[in-house]
Amino acid sequence: MTDLLSLTPDAARDALGDWLAVRALPAYRLKQVLPRLWQRPVRRWPDASDLPADLRGALDEAFALTALQLVTRQVSSDGTEKFLWKLADGEMIESVLIPEGKRRTLCISSQAGCALGCVFCATGQMGFRRNLSAAEIASQVRELILLDPEQKPTNVVFMGMGEPLLNWGAVDTTLTILNHPDGFGIGARHITVSTVGILPHLARFARRAEQFRLAVSLHSPTPAGRLALMPIEKKYKLPDLLQALTAFRRRVTFEYVLIAGKNDTPEDADRLATLAAPLGALVNLLPLHPGGAPGLTPSPRSQMLAFERRLKSKGVEAVLRRSRGLDISAACGQLRVEVETRRKVRPQEHAHVE
Ligand code: SF4
């Protein structure tokens, strides 16, 4: 069965066009059916009440629509919302919606779990489960629109569970679905891929013509410091990553989680400035989410402010972000870890649950 939601809108248009032609159905039906995938989505074909009943039935038999089952929805006192979704095979993933003025940024997952084991990350602690399909990634946006069309995200960031560039095929297609006018129609500048720097796929991402944004998880300005926090440094080394970024035609953001005693000294700020300045990179300083990483604590607020000031004094644009959703475990992977702990379900045990 063709999974239309895992195709680009152009490929879905072709598949639907062929399907209509084989059934000798009028071509104008395509204009009614295609928007029901992403623009005005329906959860099930029988819900597309603007289509004749026999066409709805035939679509239902021919094309299953991927659905995410909402397990938990938590709203923080600061308005941040966290969604825990169950996939068809029982795996669970998370999305976080962060409202800020008119902007609604949805942080989406690209993998169930993650193999990379960054020490400050709850998802890293659960290990890798599997890659998500393009339908499962893009459906995190689709499900929100199904819940409330008014709540369509204005911005999307690949910063949830998983390393998006280790699932490049599906992420590549999802980028098109998010941006295409027949998909969700979200501007490329409002879509950000956040990566630790998987170099071969970074080059592929860089070759895309659209102005998608790139965020790089740096977290330390030295190879040794980075290695202590992020095992991926063994494979893709900081100097090679920085070299690759010089070839990137667009502005880069460095993500930098401030961890007490690990990466938050004035010397760290100076070294970070020497990396960011030549690239014109924006530095996003993020307070470590408390409780997400055993044995690590956030830097004191005064130290975070001093770190930000020091970067700025070197001419680097830096922004100290507020920690969002502190009362709902909104750092990536935390909710799934929490739900599993509560239910005393080991990750292996829900792999085959329907
Ligand atoms: S921070 Fe990102 S890359 Fe690192 S373990 Fe967590 S999900 Fe994976």
Question: Ligand 1 centroid vs 233 CA: distance in angstroms?
Answer: 13
Q: Which of 107, 114, 118, 332 is catalytic?
A: 332
Identify which of 93, 94, 121 to mutate to test ligand 1's pocket (most ligand atoms within 8 A of the CB): 121
Per-residue pLDDT in tens (0 to 9) along the chain, 354 residues: 889 999 999 999 999 999 999 999 999 999 999 999 999 999 999 999 999 999 999 999 999 999 999 999 999 998 999 999 999 999 999 999 999 999 999 999 999 999 999 998 888 888 999 999 999 999 999 999 999 999 899 999 999 999 999 999 999 999 999 999 999 999 999 999 999 999 999 999 999 999 999 999 999 999 999 999 999 999 999 999 999 999 888 889 999 999 999 999 999 999 999 999 999 999 999 999 876 678 899 999 999 999 999 999 999 999 998 877 666 555 555 555 555 555 433 332 222 222
Which residues contact residue 76 at a Cβ distance below 8 angstroms, ignoring those fewer than 6 apart? 82, 324, 325, 326, 327, 328, 330
Question: Ligand 1 centroid vs 170 CA: distance in angstroms?
Answer: 18
Identify which of 163, 288, 335 to mutate to test ligand 1's pocket (most ligand atoms within 8 A of the CB): 163
Dihedral through CA 218, CA 221, CA 222, CA 223, nearest 10? Answer: 10
**What global pTM score does this model have?**
0.92
- Is the CB–ligand 1 distance for residue 238 below 6 Å? no
- Is the CB–ligand 1 distance for residue 84 below 6 Å? no
- Is the CB–ligand 1 distance for residue 231 below 6 Å? no
The verdict on whether 121 is a catalytic residue reads no
What structural domains does the chain harbor? Answer: 4-62 (1.10.150), 69-350 (3.20.20.70)
CA distance 309 to 5: 46
Question: Ligand 1 centroid vs 162 CA: distance in angstroms?
Answer: 6
Q: Which of 91, 94, 233, 255 is catalytic?
A: 94
Which residues contact residue 262 at a Cβ distance below 8 angstroms, ignoring those fewer than 6 apart? 220, 225, 228, 229, 296
Nearest CA to ligand 1 atom 4: 118
Q: Which residue blocks in 63-198 are alpha helix, DSSP H? A: 122-126, 134-147, 168-179
The verdict on whether 94 is a catalytic residue reads yes
Which residues contact residue 117 at a Cβ distance below 8 angstroms, ignoring those fewer than 6 apart? 124, 125, 127, 231
Question: Ligand 1 centroid vs 123 CA: distance in angstroms?
Answer: 6
Dihedral through CA 262, CA 156, CA 232, CA 238, nearest 10? Answer: -70
Helical pair 266-279 and 301-313, crossing angle rounded to 10 deg: 40
Question: Ligand 1 centroid vs 108 CA: distance in angstroms?
Answer: 13
